[in-house]
Chain A
Amino acid sequence: LGVRPVPEDAGFGTEARHQRQPRGSCQRSGPLGDQPFAGLLPKNLSREELVDALRAAVVDRKGPLVTLNKPQGLPVTGKPGELTLFSVLPELSQSLGLREQELQVVRASGKESSGLVLLSSCPQTASRLQKYFTHARRAQRPTATYCAVTDGIPAASEGKIQAALKLEHIDGVNLTVPVKAPSRKDILEGVKKTLSHFRVVATGSGCALVQLQPLTVFSSQLQVHMVLQLCPVLGDHMYSARVGTVLGQRFLLPAENNKPQRQVLDEALLRRLHLTPSQAAQLPLHLHLHRLLLPGTRARDTPVELLAPLPPYFSRTLQCLGLRLQ
């Protein structure tokens, strides 16, 4: 489990080479200036290149199940013609040697986050797993665990985050907006009560490594929940502007008035991360679907745990901030 296959492809080899540099060259700013965020998909990727990258990102194969470690920014589904994970599944099946069967998505992290994607070539297995996830959600048992780096340290080391959320179209962008005291009519009109568990794993340099377990599914739920805790996720350029600071104290700004804007980090944090302000504006979202629980082969078996290694930029951030994943 968790053993990364030997890289064979030239593209992934390039990424691997970059992957080695950050660990050994944290103190040198020259090379970092060119590639501070290793592990991200390059722009204007072709279908063949995407298939190759995904094949290289396979973490585990066991029976009909295939586990991918999805890079940040790749959507799972999208509009026709858009390059998504779903659109290249046939090619991926071919390259993985599955001739007759076709892969389908069982569970995946969102577009903006990175992490584990579970695929299955057997429809019966996929259906069984879907039922398992549905039962777990109803029983309020979390099956997915995310890791996030937050700007700010939550006041409580662990707890629940409950908020009613809704999608609003603001200035041409679909944004998730918290609703205070929703009425019954609000619930009928698309407001949903959401719930997440959070636990602070490590803190340092004014940041925290937080484990998040969503118990409901809503667009950008975890990012908005951390904003409501006044600790936005590092690299969140959509919702972090809703947290203001006055006299050193953080507070919420009105969600309706604030447009998404590049996250602003203070000088000390930028120095520790060895980033220039323009690089900070390109900081990727530090939200990673790290662990997924699956049922065992038999009903009495303990759940099986699937792990997705952290992206290189994520590990680099943890190293710079002195945070350790236990």
Chain B
Amino acid sequence: MDFVRLARLFARARPMGLFILQHLDPCRARWAGGREGLMRPMWAPFSSSSSQLPLGQERQENTGSLGSDPSHSNSTATQEEDEEEEESFGTLSDKYSSRRLFRKSAAQFHNLRFGERRDEQMEPEPKLWRGRRNTPYWYFLQCKHLIKEGKLVEALDLFERQMLKEERLQPMESNYTVLIGGCGRVGYLKKAFNLYNQMKKRDLEPSDATYTALFNVCAESPWKDSALQSALKLRQQLQAKNFELNLKTYHALLKMAAKCADLRMCLDVFKEIIHKGHVVTEETFSFLLMGCIQDKKTGFRYALQVWRLMLSLGLQPSRDSYNLLLVAARDCGLGDPQVASELLLKPREEATVLQPPVSRQRPRRTAQAKAGNLMSAMLHVEALERQLFLEPSQALGPPEPPEARVPGKAQPEVDTKAEPSHTAALTAVALKPPPVELEVNLLTPGAVPPTVVSFGTVTTPADRLALIGGLEGFLSKMAEHRQQPDIRTLTLLAEVVESGSPAESLLLALLDEHQVEADLTFFNTLVRKKSKLGDLEGAKALLPVLAKRGLVPNLQTFCNLAIGCHRPKDGLQLLTDMKKSQVTPNTHIYSALINAAIRKLNYTYLISILKDMKQNRVPVNEVVIRQLEFAAQYPPTFDRYQGKNTYLEKIDGFRAYYKQWLTVMPAEETPHPWQKFRTKPQGDQDTGKEADDGCALGGR
């Protein structure tokens, strides 16, 4: 009977009601099953109190007046009991007619209902309070603790089931904010905004931390476009309300712009930060560097320009800044060589930019001085923005205005300009690489020798590392800013240095020199590089080095070894050895072996891998199927009737086995990024954990 009444109550707000109803029975069942016998009597008062709630609301709906709410006399209680008995035989037509009435006056009635709910929740509170001692602040601390341990599912369950439904506490803003922050760590956008909407419905005022967490969840979301839309919408709402963001919230917004949009939006946010009078820090520039990294073609040049702006503003780069610069060197290109040469190799621009910082060193005593600083910083940013997005055709334009501005020095500049222009034209055509003897470090502003007039071919991460000093130069730059490399710095350097170079072997010595505790990711990077070069012996030789440092290889180590197993003997031996060591090969291992076999066009090897995969019942995922579909294709110039071809016969043999193999193999779906965070029964959680492991391995 209570259930039916609850159903009637929540049927009016249909989607919300259905959502609650879906979870009501499991919660109750869990409560009954989990508690001891002594706890069962305590459930009865909750049950009776929950049944009172819809009764009161229904009565209010019928009468339509609020007058009887504040008074609670004995005669009223007696009347309630009588009405309850009458309503149990109540007519359905009355309910339907009242629903129609509710729909017609939606806005007013919604406000009334919300007010009623709040008032009525005050009544049962004294009874509930005796049985429980927890406060909203206690729940805030518990959720915070769980989120720090990475248990977002448990935190959400504690909040939604125990705090709201069982204890029926009124949540505070901090309860919501800490959960939104937890969703932000993993990019659980849907849940975060759901919580945000809930707190608004409860008339709780969001704080700065709430908005920071919301922008953070947009930044970390797996789907960039919808996250960008949500963030822009939220930003517009805040602007409409004239809400002033603090620097932390701006940093989260900047991070969102860096990850979901592009560098232009980053600069817009950056200018707004300066306009609002916030003091930018190296952390602000770290987010700008993140924005540069999103541009794969020109991001390295952008990063260098942002770097120079940071130095010119007198900020000390942090270790994170240096690590982000290495990510740019690893992932991004230099863009158009001519534009890069114009912007990065000309000392005149640097001299111009360097002058304003002197004025910044004045003591800030008056508002005029502060305004001057703001204007100066804004001019810097706008100049940077213009330089960042120069088109190749505009590259030769900037030299003109300085000449016009200084007519007194026109002739000497013309003379100086003629020679570099002439030489630049020649080398631009030839694209000669700069001399090796010259030590160029673009991290030092204005330090480029005048004989260097243009960039040559800069295509590999090692080339870009050379532009910022190479391994030793980069580390000495860090030391210059009193920064010590950590394991992430050295891992990034391991990815960027040229394979087989002396710098690569020097990295192991640097671990000891800087007293950096080696971790497995660093060695996995080295193993992967050697395997990709086809140096399986070199990759294997790193295993004893691992053991010497007390490290145990994981599945990713074996996956990286599998990349180098081009010969059938090596690949099948790897699988056998892994099983002998009780390490179960997973889909990624087989995918790497399949890739190696396809590259060698060794169909016998490929069939052996598929047989092993079938024997161990390893599920197939999309990546593997795509690889095998590619291998099963006939070459474009295929002509079956032209003549006998041994190679084509091998393809036919493989196709026959592959199609039969595909029918008996189990398949694995790509897990949804948010599946593991849904509060589901135990079995689903186990599945979520497996998906989590898969994701962790996949996201290398």
Interface residues in chain A, defined as those with a beta carbon under 8 Å from any beta carbon in chain B? 155, 163, 178, 180-181, 228-230, 244-255, 257-258
Contacts and interface: CB of A to CB of B under 8 A. Distances in A.
A246 B543 contact: yes
A5 to B, nearest CB: 45
Contact of B573 (A247, A250, A254, A257): A247
- Dominant SS at the B interface? helix
Given A244-B581, A249-B544, 8 more contacts: A246-B574, A246-B578, A249-B540, A250-B543, A250-B547, A252-B550, A252-B551, A258-B582
A229 B581 CA distance: 17
20 contacts: A163-B550, A181-B517, A230-B547, A244-B581, A244-B583, A245-B577, A246-B561, A247-B565, A247-B573, A248-B540, A250-B544, A250-B547, A251-B547, A252-B546, A252-B547, A252-B551, A252-B552, A252-B553, A253-B581, A253-B583
B511 to A, nearest CB: 13
Contacts of A181: 517
Contacts of A258: 582
Contacts of A250: 543-544, 547
B581 A245 contact: yes
B547 A244 contact: no
Contacts of B581: 244-246, 253
Contacts of B285: none
Contacts of A254: 552
Interface residues of B, number: 24
A251 B540 CA distance: 10
Interface in B562-590: 565, 570, 573-574, 577-578, 580-583
Interface in B533-553: 536, 540-541, 543-544, 546-547, 550-553
Nearest to A261: B582
Interface of B: 517, 536, 540-541, 543-544, 546-547, 550-553, 558, 561, 565, 570, 573-574, 577-578, 580-583
Of B517, B552, B561, B570, which is in contact with the most chain A CB atoms at under 10 Å from its CB? B552
Contact of B541 (A229, A246, A249, A253): A249
A32 B299 CA distance: 73
A110 B541 CA distance: 35
Contact of B580 (A245, A248, A255): A245
A148 B543 CA distance: 24
Of B517, B543, B580, which is in contact with the most chain A CB atoms at under 10 Å from its CB? B543
Contact of A251 (B553, B565, B574, B580): B553
- Dominant SS at the A interface? loop
Contact of A228 (B540, B550, B580): B550
A180 B551 contact: yes
Nearest to A255: B552
B1 to A, nearest CB: 53
B544 A247 contact: no
A323 to B, nearest CB: 23
A253 B552 contact: yes
Nearest to A256: B552
A114 to B, nearest CB: 28
Given A244-B581, A246-B577, A247-B536, A228 B547 contact: yes
Nearest to B564: A247
Contacts of B547: 228-230, 250-252
A251 B573 CA distance: 15
Of A181, A248, A252, A257, which is in contact with the most chain B CB atoms at under 10 Å from its CB? A252
B354 to A, nearest CB: 44
B577 A244 contact: yes
Given A163-B550, A253-B552, A246 B544 contact: no
Contacts of A163: 550
Q: Which 3 A-B pairs have the closest CB atoms?
A: A244-B581, A246-B577, A251-B543
Contact of A247 (B550, B577, B583): B577
B518 to A, nearest CB: 10
Given A181-B517, A245-B580, A246-B574, A251 B544 contact: yes
A293 B118 CA distance: 85
A125 B583 CA distance: 54
B538 to A, nearest CB: 11
A266 to B, nearest CB: 11
Contact of A244 (B541, B570, B580): B580
B540 A247 contact: yes
